[in-house]
């Protein structure tokens, strides 16, 4: 005796219809997104990718450390450094390194840099440097007050009263030395010289972050989060001023062409 094929329950039919109607707009929106992305300039795509990556990594660190209270990795790294890395002969050197991102040192550095650019009548670049430095400091200050993470115990340079997350030294170092690297890259120097200088400046900013962990004034996650914020802010400011410069150049060219046609 042949069995009749089972009919699909009404609920499954309704779900199938609903999924079809959902899938159609999703496919159309996906194709629209692909067409939109394909029209974006490569530099803008790279900028968005790097910026979103830095912000996503910062968000992940903040969530794991501050909301989930996952401090096992931080404590493990601090323990390893205390056992195998920290030595009395290296501590003065690390103090000197960390001083290269102190508030006083960077204030002098920014004043000298902005003053030099103003003397060269490079107003826009001077404004860019000032916005990057002041804005980065303010951003880090607000974040410290927002997260209010206590510093690790047993610091090697005396107790600090302010909060720990994200690291102000890591943020400020990446912005300041990243700006120096950016300015160096714009100079008319041999490519090998520029690459070497940029690499050394970025490595030095990483060494400053390492010194904060070595001196036990920050957890490793504080420093990594500070690098993420510093990188994102530096990327945003330089991209914004580059965009403004292009718009200004187009306006000047348009005015020059209009003057010639008269």
Flag whether pLDDT at 6 surpasses 60.
no
Distance (Å, rounded) from C-alpha 163 to C-alpha 207? Answer: 21
Residue 66 sits at the vertex; the CA angle it makes with 64 and 67, to the nearest 5 degrees, is 70
* Number of domains the chain is built from: 1
How do residues 113-143 score in pLDDT, each as one tens digit? 999 999 988 888 999 999 999 999 999 999 9
The more confident residue out of 141 and 251 is 141
Buried/exposed code over 43-70 (b: 16+ C-beta within 10 A; e: otherwise): eeeebeeebeebeebbeebbeebbeeee
When pLDDT is cut at 50, 70 and 90, the band that residue 11 belongs to is: very low
Q: Is residue 252 part of a domain?
A: no
Q: Is residue 32 part of a domain?
A: no
Q: Is residue 30 part of a domain?
A: no
How do residues 83-105 score in pLDDT, each as one tens digit? 777 777 888 999 999 999 999 99
Q: Is residue 9 part of a domain?
A: no
Flag whether pLDDT at 252 surpasses 70.
no
How do residues 155-178 score in pLDDT, each as one tens digit? 888 778 888 899 999 999 999 999
Specify the pLDDT at position 253.
Answer: 59
**Helix, strand, coil percent values for the chain (each to nearest 5):** 80, 0, 20
Q: Is residue 155 part of a domain?
A: yes
Specify the pLDDT at position 47.
Answer: 82
Average pLDDT over residues 198-202: 95
Specify the pLDDT at position 18.
Answer: 46
Flag whether pLDDT at 68 surpasses 80.
no
Q: Is residue 110 part of a domain?
A: yes
Q: Is residue 184 part of a domain?
A: yes
Distance (Å, rounded) from C-alpha 175 to C-alpha 178? Answer: 5
Flag whether pLDDT at 64 surpasses 80.
yes
Instruction: Residue 236: give the domain boundaries.
Output: 51-243
Q: Is residue 152 part of a domain?
A: yes
Distance (Å, rounded) from C-alpha 39 to C-alpha 180? Answer: 32
Specify the pLDDT at position 261.
Answer: 64
How do residues 221-237 score in pLDDT, each as one tens digit? 999 999 999 999 999 99
The more confident residue out of 254 and 143 is 143
> How far from 210 is each of 11, 77, 159, 215, 226, CA to CA, in Å?
59, 11, 18, 9, 12
User: Structure tokens of 144?
Assistant: 């410290």
229 Rama class: left (phi>0) / alpha (psi -120 to 50) / beta: alpha
């Amino acid at each position: 005796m042949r069995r009749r094929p089972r009919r699909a329950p009404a609920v499954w039919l309704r779900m199938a219809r609903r999924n079809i109607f959902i899938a159609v707009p999703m496919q159309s929106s996906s194709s629209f997104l692909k067409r939109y992305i394909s029209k974006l300039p490569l530099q803008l795509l790279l900028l968005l990718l790097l910026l979103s990556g830095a912000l996503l990594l910062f968000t992940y660190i903040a969530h794991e450390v501050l909301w989930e209270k996952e401090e096992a990795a931080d404590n493990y790294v601090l323990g390893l450094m205390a056992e195998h890395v920290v030595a009395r002969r290296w501590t003065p050197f690390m103090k000197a390194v960390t001083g290269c991102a102190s508030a006083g040192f960077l204030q002098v550095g920014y004043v000298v840099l902005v003053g030099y650019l103003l003397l060269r009548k490079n107003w826009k670049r001077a404004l860019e440097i000032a916005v990057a430095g002041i804005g980065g400091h303010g951003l880090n200050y607000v974040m410290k007050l927002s997260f209010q993470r206590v510093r690790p115990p047993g610091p090697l340079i005396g107790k600090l009263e302010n909060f720990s997350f994200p690291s102000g030294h890591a943020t400020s170092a990446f912005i300041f030395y990243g700006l120096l690297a950016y300015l160096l890259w714009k100079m008319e120097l041999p490519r090998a010289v520029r690459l070497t200088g940029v690499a050394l400046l970025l490595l030095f900013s990483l060494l400053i972050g390492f010194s904060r962990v070595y001196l036990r004034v920050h957890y490793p996650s504080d420093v990594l989060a500070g690098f993420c914020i510093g990188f994102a802010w530096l990327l945003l400011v330089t991209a914004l001023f580059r965009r403004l410069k292009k718009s200004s150049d187009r306006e000047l060219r348009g005015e020059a062409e209009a003057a010639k046609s008269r």
